[in-house]
Structure 1
Amino acid sequence: SSLRSSHGRAASRPLSLLLSDSQRLCFGTNHRDQPKIRAALGASSTLSFSTAATDDDGEEPAFSLAKRNGVRNVAIVAHVDHGKTTLVDELLRYSEGTGGDRLMDCGDLEKERGITITSKVTRIDLPDGKIINVVDTPGHADFAGEVDRILGMVDGVCLIVDASEGPMAQTKYVLSRALKLGKQPICVLNKVDRPDAKTRLESGETESELLDLFDALEATDEQMDYMTLYASGREGWTVESIDQALEGDNSKGTVKSLMDAIWDRIPEPTVHVHDDGDEDLSSKSQPLETFQDDKFSMAATTVGFDQYLGRTCTGRIYSGSVGVGDAVRLLPRDGSEKQGREAQAMLSTTSGLFITKGIDRVEFAGGQRAVAGDIVTVTGVPDGMAVGDTITGRDDAVPQPILTPPLAPPTLSMDFGPNTGPLAGQEQRGTILTSSKVRERLIKETDNNVTISVVKSETDADKCTVFGRGELQLGILVEQMRRENFELLITPPRILTKKCPDTGKTLEPFEEVTIDVDKEYSGEVINGLTGTRKGILMEMTDNPADGKTRMVFEAPSRRSEEH
C-alpha cells in the first residue's frame, strides 16, 4: 500500500525502481552523482559504472544542427515474441537476398533460447545510393538497457505489435522511451494471419488499444500522426490497407510497403555542425559532402575487441567524417580530463572502418570516409573506450562529449564468487577458479553491458555484488561465464529498495504480469498472485473465440518468501 500511496499506478514502467524523476537520474553516468548512487545502493566505493547516460549541464551547445539526406536510421522495437527479428529477416531478404531464419539472432544462447539478447545493426543499400540502417533490439524487459542505448543513435522507431495480443508491458516501455526522446514512430500490426488477430482487427480493438497507449504516454501531435501497416512476418508481407490484410490472399506479397514507409516517414538523421560559416544549413537537408571537413565526433554504442585490429567501437557519427589511419582521441562520457600516461592512453590511430551487412562485417567502400549520419564500426580506437564515450579528432577535437540518453536503474542484485561449496570441482569444464579472475570477468562485462554494475561484496572479500535489471539478464551472464570455463558460486537474486525522501516509506521494484489462461483456471491464478505474491488485479477480459481469459496484474518483484 505504501508503494501506491506515494506514486499511484505506473504501468508504463514495468520492472523499474519506483523513484521520482530526479532520483531516477542519479543513476546516470554523470560521475559527479556517483556518491549519490553509492549511498542509495549502500555499495562500496569500487562501483563500476556502465550506463551511457549523461546529464545536460545547461551549457550552450558548441554546434548547430542540420539534416543529412540519403540515410535513414531506424530501430525495430516491440514486446517479446511479437516478430521483430522475423521482420528484419524479411527486410534483408527483400533488399539484399540474404535473409534467413532469425538471421540476426546469431549468438549461441540466442539460437538455443530463441530470444534476442543484444542489439544488432545491419545496413540495407537501396537503389540510387539510399541507405537504411536497421537495428534489431531485444524484447525482454531485462534487456531494456539495450533498447535505451540504441534509441540515442536512431531517428525513428518501427513499433511491432502482435495484432492478436495488442500492446503489452514491454510495448509500453519501449514506446514511452522513444516518445520521450522525440522519435517518430511507425506501427506494424504483425501476425494478422492468425484467426484471433483477424477478430480483433475487424472489431478495431487492437488499433484502439494502440491509440489509447499513445495518448496515455502523452505523444505529441506529430507522433500521434503515425502510420499503421499490417503484416505477417512469417509469410513475408506487409500492406497498408486493413481490408487487404484481412483478405488472406497476400502469399506473394513483399515488405516493400514497410521499406517505403521507413524511407518516407522516418526523419533524416540530425548531425552536428561545428563550423557552418555564415550559411544556414538547417533550411533543407544536405548531401554528405557538406559535412566531410567538419570536426569528427562519434558516440560508442557497442565496444569490443578484435585480436587483429584492436579495440572496436560501433556507433553513429554525429559530425565530420572518419577514415582509416585517422588520429583520434577519447572523450570520456563524464567529461573528465586525464594527465600524463592516462592522457596518452586516450590517443590512437584508426586501423579499420566497417559496416554490417546481415551479420557479416564488411569493410567500408575502399578509400572512402564515413560521414555524419552513418552507423559504422571503427577499429583501433583507444583501449579504454567504453559504451557512451565519444571519439573525436586528435588535433581538431569537439569541445565536449556527446550526450546520450539516461538509463533506468538496476532492480536486482546477486553475489558472484569462486566455488567454495561442497560441489566444488564437479564441473568438468570449470578451469577458472580464483576470485580475482571472476572479478576481472565481471568488470569486463560492464564495458559493453550498460545495465550491469559491479561492486566488491561488503560481507565477503572474495565475492562481488552484481546489479542488474532482472533474473533473465543475470542468468544469461552466469551461463556465458560457465561456458567460458568459470566455476562460480552465486546467491539468489535480491531486490533493491529505496527510501522515499518525502514519505520515508520503502519503495521497491514491481512488474506488470499478463497471463492468458483457460477460463476455468482463472480463479486459481488470481488467488496465487493476489495472495502470497501481493499482486493487484488491474484488468481482466474474456476471449469467447478461444475460451481464454487474459489477466493483467501488478506484483512486487520479490519472491513470496521475502514478504
Structure 2
Amino acid sequence: MHRILHKSCRQALATERSRLYVHITVTSTSASRCFSSSVRVWAQTKKINMEEYSPDLIRNFSIIAHIDHGKSTLADRLLELTGTIQKKKSGKNEQVLDKLKVERERGITVKAQTASMIHQHNGSGFLLNLIDTPGHVDFSWEVSRSLAACQGAVLLVDASQGVQAQSISVFHNAKERGLKIIPVLNKIDLPAAEPERIAEQMRATFGIDPSEILKISAKTGKGVQDVLDAIIERLPAPRGPKEAPLKAFLFDSFYDRYRGVISLINVQEGVLRKGDKIASYHTRKRYEVTDVGIMHPEEIPTQNLYPGQVGYIACNMKQSSEAHIGDTLYRVGSEVEPLAGFQPAKAMVFAGVFPVENSEFPKLEESINRLTLTDRSVTVQRESSAALGQGCRLGFLGTLHMDVFRQRLEDEYDSNVIITAPTVPYKIIFHDGREKLISNPTEFPETTDTAARVKEVQEPMVKATIIVPEEYVGELMELCFSHRADALEHRYLDAGAATASRIMINCLLPLSEIVTGFFDQLKSRSSGFASFDYEDAGYQSSDLAKMSFLLNAKPVDALALIVHRSAQEKVGRHWVKKLHQVIPRQLFEVPIQAAIGKKVIARETLKAMRADVTAGLYGGHYERKMKHLENQKESKRKMKRLGKVDLPQEAFFNLLSNKG
C-alpha cells in the first residue's frame, strides 16, 4: 500500500506546477508519513533562490480597471506567459486569482490577491510581483492598499466601452502615489471595439499620449507579450539597500486555521530571514518568523526575502487585528523610522444581521468572526432587537460589499440570515458642543429631543461621478435631482474627438440616497451604459427625522428608518404597503402605521380573520346566533386592546430581502 501511495503521490506532484490539490483518506500512520515526505520533496523542487533577484530585477505592479474590463483575464495571460501556471487544453484559464465562489459566480474581483512571476527578458531573469485589485467602487480600500506596495500600474480600458468612472478614480489614486502608468486598450478583437476613438478619449481624460497605448486582446492573448515587456522596460525598479536594518510594509493579511495570521509584506530595506525575531511598530508586539515565502501563485517557501520583494510570512500571530494594514515590521533590537501611514477603511453603510432562528446566533457570530479574518474592512458590534433577538451590527464599504458578505456567509458557512435595511452614519451635534455618530436608527433622537438638546443633524455626502452616453443625460440628471443632488455639472468626456458622445456628470449626493436602489435605477434609465463612482465628501447639515412603524400602536424597533422630511410621505406609504403584504392576518384588526414622532404619516389596516362561530348551531332561535356573534365581537375588541401582533421571522425575511 505504501509503495502504491508513494507512486500516486509522485505522479500527482510531478504533473502539478504550482498548486497541489489532494483529497485522500489516510487510515495508516506510516502511509500519512509517506505522503508528507512526498509533499516535502515537491516543495524542495519548487524552492527559488531569492538572492538572485536584486532590486533592479524586480517590478512590483498592479492592474487597475473598471469592473468587467478584463483585468482577471489579463492576469491569467501574464501568469501563462511567464510559466507560473500551465495553459489549459481549452486554451484559457478561468480567473486564477479570483478564488472565492462569489467572485466566480458574479464575475467580479472582491479580494485583492498577490502572485509572483519569474520571466526571462534579454537574457536576465526578472521577478514580477502582480498585486491584483478589485474593480468596483465598494472595494476601493482593497485597491488603495494594493497600490501602496507598487511602483507602477497597468491601466486597462475596454476598447468597446471606453473610460469608465472607476477607471478615473483609481487612475488619480495611482498618480497621487507617484506610480508610473502603462495605458492598455483591451478587447480590440470585439466587433464593437473602437480603439482609435477610445485612445483619443484616454488622451482627453488622462493626458496620455495615444502612441504609448498598447492594444491587446487578453482573451486571445494578442499583444499581451508587449504588456509583459512594457512592465519590465517602462516601470521603475524598487529601491532599498540590502545592508540597512529590516523595514517591511504590511499591506494585506489572511487567516490560516493551522498557522494563524499570514501577512503579505513588501520588504523595503534589509533582509528578512526565516527564524528572525521581528516586531510590529503599531502594536509593539514581538514575533518569530516561522515561515517565509512568495505567492507563485500559491505559497512557495523560501529562506529569505530581499529589498523590493513581495511575499508572505507566518509568525505565530494569533489575532487578525494584530496585522495592522500599513504597519512597519522591523527586526528586534534595530528599530527604524516607520513607513508612511495608511488610511484605514471607513465603514459607509451599516446593517443589522440576525439569524432566522434565534437559537442559531452563536453559530452566526462565529461565522461572522471567521469571515472578518479575511475581510478586515468589515466592522462588527453586537446588538439586540425586541423583534429579531440577538444579532450583530456590521459596517460595510457599500451595498455591494454588504451583499457579497451576505452571500459568503451563505456559501461558505451555510448561514441563513436576515439583514435589516441599510443605513449610513449620521452626525448628531448637541447644543453643548458634543458630537455623536449614529449608525443605528433606534439610537436616533426623537423629534422632541431634536428641539430641546440637538443643535443640528448632519448626513454624509459623496462626490459622485457618472459617465453616460449623451442620449441618456436628461434621464440621469432627473434621477440625480430626485435624489437630492447638489452642485451638478457636466462636460463632454471626449471633447476634441470626431464624435463627442459621452458625458461625465459630477454632483454632490447624500450617501443615504445611493444605498437604496440608486445604482439599479441608474442602470435601468441608461439601458446599462452608465458607470458610477463616488468618494467621500464630508458631512452636511440636513433635515432628517426618525420614522417608526407601529403594529397595533406598538413600535417595531427593527424596522425604524432615518428619512429626509421631503420624502417622508413617499417612504412611509411604501413601507406600510410592504408590511401589509407580509404580516400574517390576526384574529383581530391590526392598524399598520408609519409615524414621525406623534404624527402618523401613512396607515394601512390588516383585516381580522373571520371565524364562523355559528357554524355549529344547527337550527335554533335567531337570538342564539346573535349572542354568539356579539360575544365574538367583544372578544375581538379585548384582543385588539391587549393582544400582541405575532410577527414571525419569515415576515422580516420577506420584507427586508425585498421579496414583499
Question: Which of these residues, 80, 101, 121, is aligned with residue 114 of structure 2?
Answer: 121
Q: Deviations over 1:287-345 (max 9, x none)?
A: xxx50x4322322222223344333111211221122222222332xxx55xxxxxxxx
Q: Is 1:88 matched with 2:75?
A: yes
Question: What is the rounded CA distance, in whole Å, between the counterparts of 2:417 and 2:287 in structure 1?
Answer: 37
Q: Deviations over 1:446-486 (max 9, x none)?
A: 55534322344497794432222211101111121223133
Question: Which residue does 2:140 correspond to in 1?
Answer: 144
Q: Is 1:352 matched with 2:291?
A: yes
Question: Which of these residues, 366, 386, 397, is aligned with residue 469 of structure 1?
Answer: 397
Shift of 1:509: 3.1
Bigger RCO of structures 1 and 2 (CA < 8 A, at least 6 apart): 1
Q: Secondary structure at the match of 2:193?
A: helix
Question: Which of these residues, 296, 310, 315, is aligned with residue 260 of structure 2?
Answer: 310
State the AA in 1 paired with 2:98. D
CA 1:527–1:375 in 2, change beyond 3 Å: closer, same or farther?
A: closer
Q: Deviations over 1:85-140 (max 9, x none)?
A: 11111111112152512222122111111111111111110122311111221111
State the AA in 1 paired with 2:200. S
| Number of aligned residues | 421
State the AA in 2 paired with 1:179. K
TM-score by length of 2: 0.57
Question: What is the rounded CA distance, in whole Å, between the counterparts of 2:110 and 2:170 in structure 1?
Answer: 15
CA contact (8 A) 2:262 2:314 kept: yes
Shift of 1:553: 7.3
CA contact (8 A) 1:496 1:508 kept: no
Shift of 1:538: 3.7
Question: Which residue does 1:363 correspond to in 2?
Answer: 301
Question: What is the rounded CA distance, in whole Å, between the counterparts of 2:56 and 2:492 in structure 1?
Answer: 48
CA contact (8 A) 2:114 2:295 kept: yes
Question: What is the rounded CA distance, in whole Å, between the counterparts of 1:295 and 1:457 in structure 2?
Answer: 46
CA 1:408–1:304 in 2, change beyond 3 Å: closer, same or farther?
A: closer
Question: Which residue does 1:229 correspond to in 2?
Answer: 214
CA contact (8 A) 1:388 1:404 kept: no
CA 1:192–1:534 in 2, change beyond 3 Å: closer, same or farther?
A: farther
Question: Which residue does 1:372 correspond to in 2?
Answer: 307
CA contact (8 A) 1:187 1:227 kept: yes
CA 1:101–1:445 in 2, change beyond 3 Å: closer, same or farther?
A: closer
Q: Is 1:79 matched with 2:79?
A: no
Q: Deviations over 1:149-196 (max 9, x none)?
A: 101111111110112222111001111111111111111011122233
Question: What is the rounded CA distance, in whole Å, between the counterparts of 1:70 and 1:302 in structure 2?
Answer: 23
Question: What is the rounded CA distance, in whole Å, between the counterparts of 1:115 and 1:352 in structure 2?
Answer: 31
Question: What is the rounded CA distance, in whole Å, between the counterparts of 1:181 and 1:549 in structure 2?
Answer: 28
Q: Deviations over 1:524-563 (max 9, x none)?
A: 9448725644466846899xx9xx9878575641437864
Task: Give the 5 Å matches for 1:1-400.
Answer: 68-96=55-83, 98-99=86-87, 100-127=93-120, 128-198=124-194, 201-202=195-196, 205-214=197-206, 227-238=212-223, 255-271=224-240, 291=242, 293-332=243-282, 346-358=285-297, 360-364=298-302, 368-384=303-319, 385-388=322-325, 390=327, 392-400=329-337
Question: What is the rounded CA distance, in whole Å, between the counterparts of 1:498 and 1:399 in structure 2?
Answer: 39
Question: Which of these residues, 324, 349, 360, is aligned with residue 433 of structure 1?
Answer: 360
CA contact (8 A) 1:386 1:447 kept: no
Shift of 1:263: 0.7
Question: What is the rounded CA distance, in whole Å, between the counterparts of 1:166 and 1:523 in structure 2?
Answer: 17
State the AA in 1 paired with 2:418. L
Question: Which residue does 1:512 correspond to in 2?
Answer: 465
Q: Is 1:485 matched with 2:481?
A: no
Question: What is the rounded CA distance, in whole Å, between the counterparts of 1:373 and 1:532 in structure 2?
Answer: 50
Question: What is the rounded CA distance, in whole Å, between the counterparts of 2:493 and 2:131 in structure 1?
Answer: 34
Question: What is the rounded CA distance, in whole Å, between the counterparts of 1:530 and 1:493 in structure 2?
Answer: 20
Question: What is the rounded CA distance, in whole Å, between the counterparts of 1:540 and 1:392 in structure 2?
Answer: 47
Question: What is the rounded CA distance, in whole Å, between the counterparts of 2:175 and 2:477 in structure 1?
Answer: 36
CA 1:449–1:398 in 2, change beyond 3 Å: closer, same or farther?
A: farther
Q: Secondary structure at the match of 1:149?
A: helix
CA contact (8 A) 1:145 1:450 kept: no
State the AA in 1 paired with 2:423. R
Q: Is 1:559 matched with 2:516?
A: yes
Question: What is the rounded CA distance, in whole Å, between the counterparts of 1:549 and 1:212 in structure 2?
Answer: 12
Q: Deviations over 1:495-534 (max 9, x none)?
A: 3355899x996442364344569x6xx5994487256444
CA 1:533–1:354 in 2, change beyond 3 Å: closer, same or farther?
A: same
State the AA in 1 paired with 2:65. A
CA contact (8 A) 1:295 1:393 kept: yes
Shift of 1:68: 2.5
Question: What is the rounded CA distance, in whole Å, between the counterparts of 1:418 and 1:227 in structure 2?
Answer: 54
CA 1:162–1:87 in 2, change beyond 3 Å: closer, same or farther?
A: same
State the AA in 2 paired with 1:212. A
CA contact (8 A) 1:386 1:448 kept: no
Q: Deviations over 1:385-439 (max 9, x none)?
A: 32426464553343344334325633211122343xxxx38xxxxxx822x5545
Q: Secondary structure at the match of 1:433?
A: helix
CA contact (8 A) 1:116 1:138 kept: yes
Question: What is the rounded CA distance, in whole Å, between the counterparts of 1:80 and 1:371 in structure 2?
Answer: 34
CA contact (8 A) 1:392 1:398 kept: no
CA 1:327–1:558 in 2, change beyond 3 Å: closer, same or farther?
A: closer
Q: Secondary structure at the match of 2:185?
A: strand
CA contact (8 A) 1:91 1:259 kept: yes
Question: Which residue does 1:411 correspond to in 2?
Answer: 348
Question: Which residue does 1:26 correspond to in 2?
Answer: none
State the AA in 1 paired with 2:301. E
CA 1:197–1:325 in 2, change beyond 3 Å: closer, same or farther?
A: same
Question: What is the rounded CA distance, in whole Å, between the counterparts of 2:152 and 2:504 in structure 1?
Answer: 32
Counting helix residues as a fraction of each chain, which structure ranks higher?
2
Question: What is the rounded CA distance, in whole Å, between the counterparts of 1:527 and 1:317 in structure 2?
Answer: 48
CA 1:270–1:454 in 2, change beyond 3 Å: closer, same or farther?
A: farther
CA contact (8 A) 2:61 2:129 kept: yes
State the AA in 2 paired with 1:493. P
Shift of 1:261: 0.6
Question: What is the rounded CA distance, in whole Å, between the counterparts of 1:146 and 1:383 in structure 2?
Answer: 23
Question: What is the rounded CA distance, in whole Å, between the counterparts of 1:318 and 1:541 in structure 2?
Answer: 39
Q: Rg: which structure is higher?
A: 2
Q: Which runs of 5+ in 1 are unaligned?
A: 1-66, 216-222, 239-254, 272-289, 338-345, 426-431
Question: What is the rounded CA distance, in whole Å, between the counterparts of 1:523 and 1:159 in structure 2?
Answer: 27
Question: What is the rounded CA distance, in whole Å, between the counterparts of 1:499 and 1:155 in structure 2?
Answer: 42
Shift of 1:225: 10
Question: What is the rounded CA distance, in whole Å, between the counterparts of 2:58 and 2:373 in structure 1?
Answer: 29
- % of aligned pairs identical? 23
Question: What is the rounded CA distance, in whole Å, between the counterparts of 2:227 and 2:482 in structure 1?
Answer: 46
CA contact (8 A) 1:295 1:392 kept: no
Q: Secondary structure at the match of 2:263?
A: strand
State the AA in 1 paired with 2:244. D
CA contact (8 A) 1:331 1:400 kept: no
